[in-house]
Structure 1
Amino acid sequence: MVLSVCPNPSIDTYAWLEDFRLGQANRISTQQEFPGGKGVHVAMALKETGVSTKLLAAWAGHSGTWIKSMCESLGITTTGVELSGMNRKCYTFLSETSSIQNTELMEPGPEMTRDDFEQFVRVFKKECENADIMVMSGSWPKGAPETAYQELIAIANEKEKKVILDCSGVQLEHALEVNVFGIHLNEHEAKQYCGTPDVQDAIDKLHEKVDLIALTKGKEGLYLSYQGKLVHANVSLEKVISTVGCGDCLTAGVAHGVSKGLGVEEIARYGAAFGAANCLRADLGMIYKADVEQLLPRVNINDLTYG
């Protein structure tokens, strides 16, 4: 079982506008809402493709109740802690004008007290017992310690459980003070942490603490380094409808491959196919098994010279 950890879930909202005029009233013509947050996207992708998963999150207010109920309607088992306040909404504004394509606005969300965090840790320890892999994704609510992921990873390491991490900023910096099995970074996060845009140099630095490294560079695709091998994976798409959540789905694809005990090339294949599948539909952060199956044989895998 894969435990999907989402400390800061959201309601992801697609909102269509004719145009966006600063200082004037702007009317939304069409709106769609989806359960969101990086870890929620991971759980949905895993469930859709037949991987057993459980979602651990911090739920707050009626928005948290809605997110949880939507996930459970998809067959995802949920657990976690209840916070005061409301889970955030994240708006993606779209229109026929290119100037606001995929413009995002994000609410602040709830706050997490020290007691809330300690309760979250207790639930995590319990869920660790039944999980083979933990995927930890995204930001934390305000008030959570800057070492939150580091503390969870240390617990997982003690229990000899694999963790795949997808986060940024100070949480990433503290998390990489301990050993972690796997990590997914985009090129901007890798440059920020490693101080270099070069894939090989960044991977060399990360391997001091990490066994499996998934480094993504947008349309250029996925670089996956694991078990002494470095491969590049990419798949061409005729049309991209939405890229929101692609990185989360790619993380889920990597976790899928690891959970199945696959080799480096096949883990990369699943990562690239999951990420690309999310581009094919307007549903935010969601993939469909049929799309993944159609994309898998189309993924190009290239072995690269390592080290």
Structure 2
Amino acid sequence: MKRDLDGGGPPESGAPGDLIISVALNPALDVTYTVPDLVPDTSHRVTDVVSRAGGKGLNVARVLRQLGAEAIVLGLAGGAAGEQIEAELATAGVPARFVRLDAETRRTVTVLGRDTATVLNEPGPYVTAGQWESFRDVFAQRVRAARVVVLSGSRPPGVPETAYRDLVAIARAGGAETIVDTEGAALRHALTAAPTLVKPNAHEAADLLGRPVRTRDDAVEVAHRLVRLGADAGVVSRGADGFVAVSGGAAYDARAPERVAGNPTGAGDALAA
């Protein structure tokens, strides 16, 4: 059974305006357990539990809304976890429309111990061919009113490797610019559709370089390669060392004037936003 949920947002057609679409093909319910100390092969008493709607597409939309942008999430969701994600976005005032799946939306589990963080990422629910086609139809309708589309994160089982390539092509045909933040085969396919900007992090970019991205020069080399492979601009984020960007044949190096304390999770999503 499939059900489309519309959390509000802009009209489905018309000339592109200021709308930004953030695509969330594989959102997650992020569950964090805190324990005094994480010790393998033992039982643990959890001292704190936090659950929150997560995944790169949702993180991007949250930051965009905080910046005052008009943004909507388009994605896939199912089960009780999917309903919790929808409810949280509605409470936060983030418009969303999900194609409903029969299977349960994934969870990510993070166990925080003393100076340690262990993360378990589920693969995500299986998406049927019909459900994927329904999402493409929703996307094609909505993108006609969008100025920019952000395509970020992993693909759940059943969604083809060419998914981001196909969505970039649909967005371009609708007049929207595109930002792609993914890795591996999905990234390589997306580049063939000529996205406006591609933004892997240093770890993800290593696959394109064929070796670890350790230095600024390595990152610049990857950014140039992203452009040669089809992107108008290439950005490689380097964590606390900032990011490099290549556009129009010129290379740029940007970093914060000082390091910011705190949990770096989602920093790359904030950069995409």
Asked whether the two chains share a fold, i.e. TM above 0.5, the reply is yes
Q: 2:193 maps to what in 1?
A: 178
Query: SS where residue 14 of structure 1 aligns?
Result: strand
* Structure 1 residue 239: Cα displacement: 5.3
Of stretches 176-185 and 38-47 in structure 1, the one that deviates more from structure 2 is 176-185
- Partner amino acid, structure 1, of 2:196: F
Runs of at least 5 residues in structure 1 that lack an aligned partner in the other structure: 253-307
Counterparts of 1:1-307 in structure 2 under 5 Å?
1-96=19-114, 98=115, 101-195=116-210, 197=213, 198-208=218-228, 209-237=230-258, 240-252=261-273
Give the 3 Å change call, closer, same or farther, for CA 159–50 of structure 1 in structure 2.
same
1:42 shift after superposition:
0.2
CA RMSD of aligned residues (A): 1.5
Cα shift at 1:225: 2.2
**TM-score under structure 1 length normalisation:** 0.77
2-structure distance, mates of 1:2, 1:207: 23
Runs of 4 or more, structure 1, over 6 Å off, are none
User: What CA deviation, in whole Å up to 9, does each residue of 1:149-174 have, x standing for no partner?
Assistant: 11111111222311100111221121
CA distance in 2, matches of 1:213, 1:48: 25
Deviation of 1:242 after TM superposition, in Å, equals 0.5
Q: Distance in 1 between matches of 2:40 and 2:219?
A: 40
Q: Which runs of 5+ in 2 are unaligned?
A: 1-18
For residue 20 of structure 1, give the secondary structure of its aligned residue in structure 2. coil
Post-superposition Cα deviations, 1:207-260, rounded to whole Å, max 9, x if no partner, equal 1211122211121111122344322221255652211111111111xxxxxxxx
Aligned length: 249
CA distance in 2, matches of 1:234, 1:228: 20
Q: Which moved more, 1:44-53 or 1:176-185?
A: 176-185
Quote the Cα distance in structure 2 between the aligned partners of 1:92 and 1:187. Answer: 22
Q: Hey, what does 2:16 align to over in structure 1? A: none
Amino acid at match of 2:93: G
Code of the aligned partner of 1:203: A
Cα deviation for residue 20 of structure 1 reads: 1.5
> Hey, which of these two has a bigger chunk of helix by percent?
1
Summarize the Cα distance change of 1:92–1:240 in structure 2 as closer, same or farther, 3 Å threshold: farther
Q: What is the alpha-carbon distance in structure 1 between the residues aligned to residue 85 and residue 136 of structure 2?
A: 21
Q: Does 112-121 or 225-234 show the bigger shift?
A: 225-234
Asked if the contact 1:80/1:123 (under 8 Å) is kept, the reply is no
Residues 36-63 of structure 1, C-alpha deviations (whole Å, 9 max, x = no match): 0100000000001100001001011111
Q: 1:273-293 CA deviation, whole Å, 9 max, x = no partner?
A: xxxxxxxxxxxxxxxxxxxxx
Q: CA deviation at 1:90?
A: 0.8
CA distance, structure 1, for counterparts of residue 23 and residue 259 of structure 2: 33
